[in-house]
Amino acid sequence: MTMNFNELPEFQKELKRLGKKYKSLPDDLQEFCNVISVVPLGNSKHFNVITQTEFFYIVKARLFCRYLKGTSLRIVYAYFEQEQRIEFIELYFKGDKENEDRNRIKKYLENF
């Protein structure tokens, strides 16, 4: 079964903004998608389930970017096990922002 990917509009904006700064980002994201298609909840300490409901998991993970030596971006996504679907919620650079946008995640959760 194939994994389906969606992005929130806020995520698309962040991807576009960060993509200008880090040219390898589209390829890095594609590589990340290949990994989570196989292991949706991750396979290392770089993945952390921050919320779990009956229907889906919200996972924060490290997204390695070739343009960033040693540091990485953070990506937050929802994984719907039944539907084999992943929805990207947030993307940010760890240097700009310490933690994920809790309000955005809360707002996202309110839609379910």
Q: Which CATH number fits domain 4-38+55-110: 3.10.129.10, 3.90.79.10, 3.30.2310.20, 3.30.70.3040?
A: 3.30.2310.20
Q: What is the pLDDT of residues 11-26, one digit of tens each?
A: 999 999 999 999 999 9
Q: Is the dihedral of CA 96, 64, 16, 38 positive or negative?
A: negative
Cα separation values, 54 from 36, 57, 82, 83, Å: 20, 8, 10, 13
Distance CA 86, CA 84 (A): 7
Task: Please state whether the predicted TM-score (pTM) of the whole model is above 0.85.
Answer: yes
* pLDDT at residue 111, rounded to an integer: 86
Looking at per-residue confidence, does 106 or 70 come out higher? 106
Residue 102: both structure tokens together: 């809790």
* pLDDT at residue 72, rounded to an integer: 84
Q: Is the pLDDT of residue 70 over 80?
A: no
Q: Locate the domains of the chain by residue range.
A: 4-38+55-110
pLDDT band per the 50, 70, 90 thresholds, residue 98:
confident
